[in-house]
A and B are shown apart, each in its own frame.
Chain A
Amino acid sequence: MEAVTWIVLVIDATLRVSTPLILAAFAGMFAERSGVVDIGLEGKMLGAAFAAAAAAFATGSAWLGLLAGMGASVGLAMIHAFACVTHRGDQVVSGMALNILVAGLGPVLSLAWFGQGGHTPIVADTARFRPIHFPFADRLSDVPFIGQIYSEIVSGHNLIVYIALGMVPLAAWFIYKTRFGLRLRAVGEAPEAVDTAGISVAGMRYRAMIVCGILCGVAGTSLSIAQNALFVRDMSAGMGYLALAALIFGKWRPVPTLFACFLFAFADAVQARLQGVDIPGVGIIPVQAIQALPYLLTVLLLAGFVGKAVPPKASGVPYVKER
């Protein structure tokens, strides 16, 4: 019974930890499927985390925080698009520049506005996305298995976790079943064909970057006002790059990418619970070894199970119309 409880709680933690990863990875999917390499996921998340915390603190509303987070992130995405699509700049350089810009700008603005160093003040509970408890969750928590699954895994997450999970099928449907999705994929594989068909390549890429910005904005918001209650310097802690890895890992496809995110989050949740635990027959594993677990898992899986990851053909290549 205890093993079941343990697994249920690990899955619960996996969902929580994977939320920003999923959102950011899908943001990257929209960008890269349209042919724009976006290494700036990290910066957009961080910018959104700051804007969300600042707005939520100033207005006392989590929804306005979310809106500000999305706004900041879309703004950054537009700068990226302006540099890479309109002016055909190097996409990696532009993304990296945005990361560095935001890493400095967030703390500087917090210092200027709130005077508490590189972080915002702590946001009140009413201005955060708090866990939502489904009906009967508490009463059912004692029912073995089914009750535990319902009360721990299904219920009790913050709104953004549900948004992220709901977004996944929606995004898959968008990319594979709609006209927008078809054009999006085409513009990332063979932009000249799309251009011949009379559709603006730049227009498609701009639209893809807006979607990317919105999703990164939600991811950043979940960091600062759902999981935490403030913005601190570098709080995205490399999650944007991890999302990028998950995207490559998932071969730029929705379902494999989702599972790659789950895998990273699962490894993280497990390592938090294995530290200093006496495993029968093995003993206590050193912290360093446990903390290397997610990375070890990634390398093993990448080397052994995933096979060749082929990016969208035109990704990273600015489109130049023949003259």
Chain B
Amino acid sequence: MKRLIVAALAAIGIAAGGMAQAEDFTPAVVFDMGGKFDKSFNEAAFNGAEKFAADTGIQYRDFEVTNPSMREQALRNMARRGAQVVVAMGFAQAAAVETVAQEFPETKFTLIDMVVDLPNVQSVIFKEHEGSFLVGMAAAMASQTGKVGFVGGMDIPLIRKFALGYVEGAQHVNPDIEIFQNMTGTTPSAWNDPTKGGELARSQFDRGADVVYAAAGGTGIGVYQAAKDAGKLAIGVDSNQNYIHPGTMLTSMVKRVDVAVYESFRAAKDGTWQGGIQILGLAEDGVGWALDEHNRSLVSAEMEAAIEQARTDIIAGNIAVTDYMAQ
């Protein structure tokens, strides 16, 4: 019996040793409020991390922040437990990243959607205004009433950036278009309030809007549902959300957070990871609009051509889209 236990312990020891070797490189991702499966911003990061795990066989650690005070703790835990690269999702983690990155100068941090100026922090920001411009055009072309809506999550400059790009895109097609804008709230809970989102969308439909664009994380699910219930069109954000309600999802403003996360993990693994700022726009394929089998029937050839033309023009610099945060 004793011998058996010793053998078992030895086997566990060997297994643990083997695991430790496989875990030599451990990337980590800390999701923000809204959660890993928000079908939007955080889920894009999850998909990127999953793809990395599938491609390389390297497991990653993850953590879902469910209240603001957990961010710093979560990042510190990841760093302390030996993660070489930690991806922090969302503008709200900037302060936490700044603190923890100074405590762990050897650990690499990739911050999505915000800039922290430290040597071991890579800040990835997107030109959401460019992508929003394109879906704004789509909205204006699909609208029968000449009125379109926008539902934002938390009222922060980043979301205003989405809104402004959308407005400019819609006005590019139809200068007289009427645009309704609503913000869900002023606290992080505004990222996860589908009931309120649905109500805001309905208030816009009541005023005559027939296309609504949600840049609101999990709150958007309520917006898309309200659009489906009312027989109107909705535009998704961050991830390609066309599949959620085929037939009433006009398109999605895709922000390639998945690529950013994947690239960050890959670069850290290959040793090519660098701190600094990365700005991803239409030219870098960091943002774009989604066209797939779910919304093919809603997008006419004319619309597609006009949007693709605008895309080329923005990349070439012929159309200037205002960046709300640079104003």
Chain A residues near B (Cβ < 8 Å): 9, 12-13, 16-17, 116-119, 122, 130-131, 223, 227-230, 232-235, 237, 268-269, 272-273, 275-276, 287-288, 291
Contacts and interface: CB of A to CB of B under 8 A. Distances in A.
Contacts of A223: 195
A171 B203 CA distance: 31
11 contacts: A9-B207, A13-B202, A117-B37, A227-B222, A228-B221, A230-B194, A232-B194, A234-B192, A235-B195, A237-B189, A291-B183
A233 B203 contact: no
Interface string B200-229: 101100110000000000100110010001
Contacts of B189: 234, 237
B155 interface: yes
Given A16-B199, A228-B194, A234-B189, 17 more contacts: A9-B203, A9-B207, A12-B206, A117-B38, A119-B37, A122-B225, A130-B229, A223-B195, A228-B225, A232-B194, A233-B66, A235-B195, A237-B189, A237-B195, A269-B199, A273-B206, A275-B182
B181 A272 contact: no
Given A117-B35, A119-B37, A272 B193 contact: no
Given A117-B36, A227-B195, A272-B199, A13 B206 contact: yes
A12 B203 CA distance: 10
A272 B182 CA distance: 7
A229 B203 CA distance: 18
B17 to A, nearest CB: 32
A233 B186 contact: no
Contact of B35 (A12, A227, A233): A233
B198 interface: yes
A276 B203 contact: no
Main secondary structure of the interface of A (DSSP, over half): mixed
Interface of B: 35-38, 66, 155, 180-183, 185-186, 189, 192-196, 198-200, 202-203, 206-207, 218, 221-222, 225, 229, 244
B196 to A, nearest CB: 7
Contacts of A122: 221, 225, 244
A241 to B, nearest CB: 13
Given A275-B181, A275-B183, A288-B155, A232 B203 contact: no
B247 to A, nearest CB: 12
B221 A230 contact: yes
Nearest to A290: B183
Contacts of B38: 117
Contact of A118 (B35, B180, B221): B35
Contact of B203 (A13, A117, A227): A13
A146 B199 CA distance: 24
A234 B66 CA distance: 10
A235 B194 contact: yes
Contacts of A17: 199
The 9 closest A-B pairs by CB, nearest first: A117-B37, A272-B203, A9-B206, A276-B181, A229-B225, A275-B182, A228-B194, A287-B183, A237-B193
B185 A291 contact: yes
A109 B221 CA distance: 20
- A116, A119, A232, A291, most chain B CB atoms within 10 A: A232
Contacts, number: 80
Given A116-B37, A233-B35, A288-B155, A273 B207 contact: yes
Nearest to B194: A228
A102 B31 CA distance: 22
B302 to A, nearest CB: 31
Contact of B222 (A12, A13, A117, A228): A228
A16 B186 CA distance: 23
A52 B38 CA distance: 20
A118 B198 contact: no
Contacts of A9: 203, 206-207
A234 B200 CA distance: 18
B203 A273 contact: yes
Contacts of A232: 192, 194, 218, 221
A287 B155 contact: yes
Contacts of B155: 287-288
A138 to B, nearest CB: 13
A268 B66 CA distance: 26
Contacts of A273: 203, 206-207
A165 B234 CA distance: 31
A118 B202 contact: no
A227 B229 CA distance: 10
B183 to A, nearest CB: 5
Nearest to A17: B199
A232 B195 CA distance: 10
B307 to A, nearest CB: 26
B203 A269 contact: yes
A272 B37 contact: no
Contacts of B35: 117-118, 233
B241 to A, nearest CB: 12
A72 to B, nearest CB: 19
A263 B183 CA distance: 21
A272 B202 CA distance: 10
Contacts of A116: 37
A13 B35 CA distance: 29
A228 B195 contact: yes
Nearest to A222: B195
B193 A235 contact: yes
A227 B199 CA distance: 9
A268 B203 CA distance: 11
Contacts of A272: 182, 199-200, 203
